[in-house]
Amino acid sequence: MNPDTQVLEKAEAVFHRYPDITGVTVFFSDLNGVCRGKRLPRDSIEKAFEGGVRMPISSLCLDIWGNDIPAIALETGDADGICLPTDRGLVPVPWTNPPGAYLPMSMYYDDGSPCPGDSRHALTRIVQRYRDLTLTPVVAVELEFYLVNLRGGRPESPISPVTRQALEFDGLHSVDELEHFSVFLEDVYAACRAQGLSTDTALSELGIGQFEINLKHVPDALRAADEALLLKRVVRGVARKHGFVASFMAKPYANMSGNGCHVHFSVLDKDGHNIFDNGEETGTPELRHAVAGLLDTMPELMTVFAPHMNSYRRMRSESYAPTVPVWGYENRTTALRIPAGNPAAKRIEHRVAGADTNPYLVVAAVLGTALRGIQHKMTPPEPITGNAYASVTPPIECGWKESLPVFEESAIIAELFDPLIVKMLPALKNQEIRRFSNQITEFEFHSYLESV
C-alpha cells in the first residue's frame, strides 16, 4: 500500500521538532472508546504507513477489562486486519519523558475495504450520507472530567497546587479553581496545540475538582470525534505528569455532578448556509425535524449514550444530566438544548451521552438520527419551558441490561449501524454485565455478613 505523501511529510516534521522521540504508539478505538494498539520503534514506523501493522479484528470488540468476546473472536478464527493511519497522521506526545508520538489508525480488511466493526468507519458511513445530499455537519464536542487523588483505590478531591489542601467545595465557574490548576491547564493546552487539536474554553464545573474543556466547531465530523478521543488521552497523560488522575467516568462520586459528553452540531448546505438558521430564535423547520429525529430514537440508543453500568448513575433528576427525551430553547434541564446567540450559529446541543462513551459512535448516532428526522420531515413535540425534570414524558433510560435488546432489535439502529456493530456491541456489553453480576461488593458484605 502506498502511503500518503503529506502524511509522511507530517511525520517527518514531528520527528524533526521532537528529535528525542524513540517510539510511536499506534492505536485505534475499540467499541468502548478505549485505545488499543502497539508501540513501534521510531525506525520501524515506515511499516505503519505501508500496511505492515496488523491486529486481530476482535480487538475492536473487547470488554472494558480488555478481554475478547469468544463468540466474536472465534467466529472468524480470530483473523487479523490491517491498521492504516487516519488522515491526522503522527502527533507528538510532549508530556512524556522522553517525548513520544501517537499514530491514530483505523482497521481494514486485507482487500483494503474498511472493517465495519471499527467505530470510526461507522461515523464515516453517516458522514457520507450527508455528503450524498451535499450537506456538511459542523460539530463540536464538550467533555467533562474530574481531577482526583486515588487513596485505597477510591477517588478523593485533588490537592490544590496553590494551597496544598484538598478541595472542599463545589467550584462551579470558579476563577480561583482555574487559577489553582492553571499550570495543569496550560500544559493541556500546550499538548493540544502540539497535536493540532482545536481546543476552546476551559471552565470549572459543578463538582469538586471537575472541569470541562470544549473543542471548537469544525466542518468535519470525523475530525471532531478524533479530537475528542485524543483530548481524553491528553488530559489523562498531563494529569499523571502533575500527580493527578483524570477521570471521565460518568459518575465517579455518588453525591456530585456526573461527567457529560455534549455534542453541538449544525448543518451547512452546499452554499455554506446553516440550514438551521432563519434569522429568528426559533430556527428553521429543518431544525425541528432534526430535533424530532433525535428524540424519536433516544431510548434505542442508550447502549451508545450510556454504555456502562456506572453510566446510569449519572442520569438523576435535577443533576443537569437529562432523564427525559424533551427539548427546549436555552434550557439545560432538557436532553436537547437549542442555545441562544447569533442566529447564524443556530445549533442543537445533544446532552445525553456521558464522557465515558465512544465519541465516534455518539457523533454517528446524533448525526444519523438528526438526518433521519430531516429526511422524513418529522415533527417534534412542543419545546419544554422551565424544569424538564417535572415533565410527565416517560424517561429516556430503561437500564443497562434492558437497553441491549432495544438496541439489537431496532429497525432504526439497523439503518444507522452496520450489522457487525449491531452484533458486537450487545455481545461485549452482555459479557460485562455477567462479570459485574458475579461480583460481591464491599457494601453487600457490610450489609449482610452478620445481619441475616
Residue 424 has pLDDT above 90, yes or no: yes
Q: Which residues contact 438 (CB under 8 A, 6 or more apart)?
A: none
Encoded amino acid at 257, one letter: S
Beta-ladder partners of 142: 214, 262
CATH placement of domain 5-117: 3.10.20.70
Q: Is the peptide bond before 56 cis (omega within 30 degrees of 0)?
A: no
Angle (nearest 5°) at CA 337 between 336 and 338:
125
Mean pLDDT of the chain: 91
Percent share of the chain, pLDDT over 70: 96
Mean predicted confidence (pLDDT) in 100-114: 96
Mean predicted confidence (pLDDT) in 273-300: 96
**For 240-267, what is each residue's pLDDT tens digit?**
999 999 999 999 998 888 999 999 999 9
Task: Write out the chain in H/E/C secondary structure.
Answer: CCCCHHHHHHHHHHHHHCCCCCEEEEEEECCCCCEEEEEEEHHHCHHHHCCCEEEEHHHHCECCCCCECHHHHHHCCCCEEEEEECCCCCEEECCCCCCEEEEEEEEECCCCCECCCCHHHHHHHHHHHHHHCCCEEEEEEEEEEEEEEEECCEEECCECCCCCCECCCCCCCCHHHHHHCHHHHHHHHHHHHHHCCCEEEEEECCCCCEEEEEECCECCHHHHHHHHHHHHHHHHHHHHHCCCEEECCCCCCCCCCCCEEEEEEEEECCCCCECCCCCCCCCCHHHHHHHHHHHHCCHHHHHHHCCCCCHHHHCCCCCCCCCCCCEEECCCCCCEEECCCCHHHCCEEECCCECCCCHHHHHHHHHHHHHHHHHCCCCCCCCCCCCHHHCCCCCCCCCHHHHHHHHHCCHHHHHHCCHHHHHHHHHHHHHHHHHHHCCCCHHHHHHHCCCC
Q: Residue 224 and residue 217: Cα distance in Å, rounded?
A: 8
Which among 16-25, 92-101, 214-223 has the top mean pLDDT? 214-223
**For 48-99, what is each residue's pLDDT tens digit?**
988 889 999 999 999 999 999 998 888 878 899 999 999 999 999 999 988 9
> Which cell numbers hold the place of 416?
444507522
> Which cell numbers hold the place of 348?
442543537
Residue 165 has pLDDT above 80, yes or no: no
Q: Residue 24 and residue 53: Cα distance in Å, rounded?
A: 12
Q: Residue 114 and residue 164: Cα distance in Å, rounded?
A: 51
- Give the relative orientation of helices 359-375 and 221-241 as an angle to the nearest 10 degrees: 150
Residue 2 has pLDDT above 60, yes or no: no
Q: What is the pLDDT of residue 179?
A: 79
* Burial zone of 450 (CB within 10 Å; 0-12 exposed, 13-18 middle, 19+ buried): exposed
Q: How confident is the model at residue 416 (pLDDT cuts 50, 70, 90)?
A: very high
413 contacts 126 by C-beta, under 8 angstroms: no
Largest CA distance in the chain: 71
- Give the relative orientation of helices 400-408 and 419-437 as an angle to the nearest 10 degrees: 160
Residue 356 has pLDDT above 80, yes or no: yes
- Determine phi and psi for 446, rounding to 5 degrees: -60, -35
Residue 166 has pLDDT above 80, yes or no: no
Q: Residue 198 and residue 225: Cα distance in Å, rounded?
A: 12
Domain formed by 127-417, architecture: 2-Layer Sandwich (3.30)
Lowest mean pLDDT among 148-162, 177-191, 224-238, 326-340: 148-162
**For 289-323, what is each residue's pLDDT tens digit?**
999 999 999 999 999 999 999 999 998 887 778 99
Q: How confident is the model at residue 325 (pLDDT cuts 50, 70, 90)?
A: very high
CA-closest candidate to residue 266, choices 240, 292, 284:
284
CB burial readout 58-76, b (16+ within 10 A) else e? bbbbbbbeeebbeebbeee
> Which cell numbers hold the place of 339?
442555545
Q: What is the pLDDT of residue 172?
A: 57
CA-closest candidate to residue 359, choices 286, 431, 307, 437:
307
> Which cell numbers hold the place of 447?
450489609
CA-closest candidate to residue 203, choices 223, 182, 229:
182
Tell me the domain boundaries of the chain.
Answer: 5-117, 127-417
Q: What is the pLDDT of residue 203?
A: 80
Q: Residue 69 and residue 74: Cα distance in Å, rounded?
A: 8
* Burial zone of 373 (CB within 10 Å; 0-12 exposed, 13-18 middle, 19+ buried): buried
